């Protein structure tokens, strides 16, 4: 059931007078239609920025290049990074996600032919500050052919015509269930950020159960409504219900026993494929996150390693992880507008030499068995539902102190990587060398890896010795990189962003912030979820985290259930700050 991805189409972009870098639009902000008709109105936008490193002033001018005056105008564009609006002038400025909307103030609403109006605003940011690449006024793309359009970004692709990066130039679905929880718990500032829909048991497909009130088809119907404000639109869904799921983490065990591979195929994957393949959803770009925390367990947590578990040994022996993942890839990959991203753990799991290549080999073997093909894989995702920073800004793996490499520090412990972005890019090269297509892209889940707040370092640590240097430099606030459950001190990470660096397709919020990783004590339930000591604040660790304390928050509910105390901490410690 394999297929070959068609090459990306050449894209036509709106022209405007500022020379800028690439950007993309995420979120659900709509574009307002103006009073001038498409036949009579055309525009050019000039954009410039006075940048001082942590903020900038954006100056914009709109020129009416058409034959009819406007009686009111609304300008829309998007940034690619974490730029945040502070204040604006000569216009009514607002921001939704990365989308900026500016409307006239009344007195400056009329733009005669060949006339120009100006507006501006101050912004803050961290990291890169690429200028926007597309502008629209009253829904008409500036510099284009004068036809109506919902805003910046490339022209829409025909249904089923896969592109290299589905997130590029696309809006992304905001899950209304999560948004309602976030807004009700003081998170209005981020309630419009896109998060993934989780299908973690069969009942989640149809919905109506606790924690999964909205079913897959209803979510997709909601996505069609949100997509009306965008030329291209992404729907993110986590496919997560393997038999014997999460063999090394009891908190997220699933409903299917280790031998129920036929149930997985026939009652989980097939119904999902039937819905995703409905022609009604053919215009959506559907990103599937395939079975987190599965295949890496077959490398790191099986005998004869000290980190092995009987459950992981069983899943290696029966082959059902590989059979299930390959079936999901081939079945979902046969749908023309589906983009499969396979979970690839994180640097604190498979960043060591004895895990790195072996994991890539296993992934390739799995992606080419039981009818699956490497063409069924759009890319891989790292740090799903985890806390490792995307970038450690104050030290790197190449640093040394007094001739001693940071690899020898207690924290790094001979790993080849210190953050998820360097790991993702390095692992991508290894995956391609093993036989995956050179066009694959990587995703990083940044929903809870911000590590801001008062304890965040502001520069490199002391050079007295390598451990002091690393401890003083690292923004990661965990006791050990293997700690994963409801981590104390964590914050929201980079907001969802397309193409932050080459070969990283997106920073994405796959784990919805505020949803628990597991209960801090045993809670009877009918969801198949067990109790894992790593979720108990008093737990003193195991071989998988070098016997460090868990670092988990107390009083946590079952995995996937709303955890208000954690959500409040994520808001307070967000980096970049809210």
Give the CATH number of the domain where residue 443 resides.
3.20.20.40
Residue 138 has which token pair?
A: 């009253």
pLDDT at 5 over 60: no
The predicted model scores a pTM of 0.74
* Position 144 confidence tier, pLDDT thresholds 50, 70, 90: very low
Active site includes 517? yes
Query: Are the CB atoms for 119 and 89 separated by under 8 Å?
Result: yes
CB atoms within 10 A of CB 21: 11
Q: How far apart are CA 75 and CA 101, in angstroms?
A: 6
Catalytic one of 144, 229, 293, 445: 293
| Pairing mode of beta strands 285-290, 338-343 | parallel
293 among known catalytic residues: yes
Min mean pLDDT across 228-237, 373-382, 540-549 is at: 540-549
Residue of 142 and 398 predicted with greater confidence: 398
Task: Give the C-alpha separation, 366 to 372, whole Å.
Answer: 8
Q: Is residue 215 part of a domain?
A: yes
Q: Which of the residue ranges 89-98, 202-211, 219-228, 244-253 has the most confident prediction, judged by mean pLDDT?
A: 219-228
Establish if 456 belongs to a structural domain: yes
Q: What percent of the chain has a predicted confidence (pLDDT) above 90?
A: 70
Domain count, the chain: 1
Take residue 400 and report the two structure tokens written for it: 């040394």
pLDDT of the residue at 180:
95
What torsion, rounded to 10 degrees, do the Cα atoms 184, 187, 192, 194 define?
-100
Where is 177: in which H helix or E strand? helix 176-184
In the set 419, 517, 532, 536, the catalytic residue is: 517
Q: How confident is the model at residue 470 (pLDDT cuts 50, 70, 90)?
A: very high
Closest by alpha carbon to 242, among 215, 270, 216, 261?
A: 261
Residue 309: asked if its preceding bond is cis (omega within 30°), the reply is no
How many other C-beta atoms lie within 10 A of the C-beta of residue 463?
Answer: 13
Task: State how far the Cα of 337 lies from the Cα of 194, in Å rounded to an integer.
Answer: 19
- Tell me whether residue 275 is in a domain: yes
Beta-carbon count within 10 A of 472 CB: 16
Residue 44's beta-bridge partner residues? Answer: 63
Find tokens 């998170």 and name the residue: 187
Choice between 131 and 32, residue whose per-residue pLDDT is larger: 131
Phi-psi region of 374 (alpha: psi -120 to 50; beta: other; left: phi over 0): alpha
Full residue range of the structural domain in which residue 287 is found:
171-515+530-572
Give the model's pLDDT for residue 390: 97
* Confidence (pLDDT) at 210: 52
- Written as six digits, the tokens of 553 are 């928050």
Distance of alpha carbon 195 from alpha carbon 137, whole angstroms: 28
Residue 442 inside a domain? The answer is yes
Separation CA 216–CA 196 (nearest Å): 11
Neighbours of 497 (CB within 10 A): 24
pLDDT confidence of 213, banded at 50, 70, 90? confident
Most confident of 50-64, 126-140, 328-342, 520-534: 328-342
Confidence check: pLDDT of 543 > 70: yes
pLDDT (mean) for 174-195: 96
Whether 256 maps to a domain, the answer reads yes
Confidence of residue 10 (pLDDT cuts 50, 70, 90): very low
Q: Considering the domain boundaries, does residue 165 fall inside one?
A: no
**SS3 for 122?**
strand
Rounded Cα gap, residues 255 and 334, in angstroms: 26
Which of 427, 326, 426 is closest to 376 using CA atoms? 326
Span of 3-12, 253-262, 492-501 with lowest mean pLDDT: 3-12
Whether residue 193 is contained in a domain is answered as yes
Q: How far apart are CA 486 and CA 187, in angstroms?
A: 18
Q: What is the pLDDT of residue 86?
A: 85
Q: What is the residue-averaged pLDDT of the chain?
A: 88
Q: CA-to-CA distance for 566 and 490, rounded, in angstroms?
A: 8
Is 97 a residue whose pLDDT tops 80? no
| Reported confidence tier of residue 19, pLDDT bands at 50, 70, 90 | very low
Mean predicted confidence (pLDDT) in 165-184: 96
The answer to whether the beta carbons of residues 475 and 393 sit under 8 Å apart is: yes
Residue 262: pLDDT above 80? Answer: yes
pLDDT at 16 over 70: no
Cα distance between residue 366 and residue 358, in whole Å: 12
How many angstroms separate the Cα of 455 from the Cα of each of 32, 125, 449, 482?
43, 20, 14, 20
- Pairing relationship of beta strands 379-382 and 441-445 according to DSSP bridges: parallel
Q: 50-64, 267-281, 352-366, 426-440: which range is least confident on average?
A: 50-64
Q: Is 500 helix (H, G, I), strand (E, B) or coil?
A: strand
Nearest to 493 by CA among 481, 479, 475: 475
Q: Is the Cβ–Cβ distance between 229 and 288 less than 8 Å?
A: no
Banded model confidence at residue 126, pLDDT cuts 50, 70, 90: confident
Query: Quick check: is 180 in a domain?
Result: yes
How far the first Cα of the chain sits from its last, in Å, is 45
């Amino acid at each position: 059931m394999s297929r070959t991805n068609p090459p990306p189409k050449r894209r036509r972009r709106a022209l405007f007078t500022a020379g800028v870098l690439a950007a993309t639009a995420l979120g659900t902000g709509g574009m307002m239609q103006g009073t001038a008709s498409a036949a009579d109105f055309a525009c050019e936008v000039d954009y410039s920025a006075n940048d001082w490193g942590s903020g900038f002033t954006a100056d914009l001018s709109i020129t009416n290049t058409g034959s009819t005056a406007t009686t009111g105008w609304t300008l829309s564009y998007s940034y690619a990074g974490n730029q945040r609006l502070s204040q604006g002038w000569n216009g009514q400025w607002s921001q939704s996600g990365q989308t900026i909307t500016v409307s006239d103030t009344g007195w400056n609403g009329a733009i005669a032919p060949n006339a120009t109006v100006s507006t501006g605003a101050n912004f803050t940011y961290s990291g890169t500050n690429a200028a926007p690449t597309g502008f629209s006024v009253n829904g008409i793309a500036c510099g284009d052919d004068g036809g109506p359009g919902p805003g910046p970004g490339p022209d829409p692709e025909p249904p089923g015509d896969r592109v290299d990066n589905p997130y590029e130039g696309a809006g992304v679905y905001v899950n209304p269930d999560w948004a309602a929880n976030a807004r009700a718990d003081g998170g209005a500032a981020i309630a419009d950020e896109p998060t993934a829909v989780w299908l973690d048991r069969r009942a989640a497909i149809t919905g109506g159960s606790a924690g999964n009130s909205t079913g897959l088809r209803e979510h997709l119907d909601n996505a069609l409504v949100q997509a009306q404000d965008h030329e291209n639109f992404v729907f993110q869904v986590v496919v997560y219900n393997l038999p014997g799921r999460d063999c090394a983490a009891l908190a997220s065990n699933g409903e299917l026993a280790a031998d129920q591979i036929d149930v997985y195929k026939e009652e989980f994957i097939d119904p999902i494929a039937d819905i995703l393949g409905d022609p009604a959803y053919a215009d959506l770009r559907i990103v599937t996150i395939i079975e987190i925390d599965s295949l890496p367990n077959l490398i790191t947590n099986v005998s004869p390693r000290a980190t092995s578990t009987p459950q992981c040994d069983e899943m290696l022996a029966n082959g059902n992880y590989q059979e299930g993942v390959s079936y999901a890839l081939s079945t979902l990959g046969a749908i023309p507008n589906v983009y499969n991203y396979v979970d690839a753990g994180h640097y604190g799991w498979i960043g060591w030499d004895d895990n790195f290549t072996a994991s890539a080999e296993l992934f390739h073997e799995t992606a080419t068995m039981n009818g699956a093909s490497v063409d069924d894989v759009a890319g891989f995702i790292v740090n799903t539902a985890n806390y490792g920073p995307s970038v450690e800004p104050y030290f790197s793996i190449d640093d040394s102190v007094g001739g001693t490499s940071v690899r020898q520090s207690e924290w790094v412990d001979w790993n080849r990587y210190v953050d998820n972005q360097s790991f993702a890019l390095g692992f991508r090269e290894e995956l391609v060398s093993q036989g995956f297509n050179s066009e694959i892209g990587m995703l990083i889940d940044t929903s809870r890896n911000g590590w801001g707040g008062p304890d965040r370092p502001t520069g490199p640590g002391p050079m007295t010795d390598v451990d002091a240097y690393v401890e003083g430099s690292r923004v990661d606030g965990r006791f050990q990189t293997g700690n994963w459950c409801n981590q104390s001190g964590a914050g929201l990470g980079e907001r969802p962003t397309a193409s932050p660096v080459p070969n990283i397709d997106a920073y994405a919020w796959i784990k919805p912030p505020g949803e628990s990783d597991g209960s801090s004590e045993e809670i009877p339930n009918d969801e198949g979820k067990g109790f894992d000591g790593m979720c108990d604040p008093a737990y003193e660790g195991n071989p998988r985290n070098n016997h460090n304390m868990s670092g988990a928050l107390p009083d946590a509910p079952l995995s996937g259930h709303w955890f208000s105390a954690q959500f409040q901490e994520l808001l307070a410690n967000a980096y970049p700050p809210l």
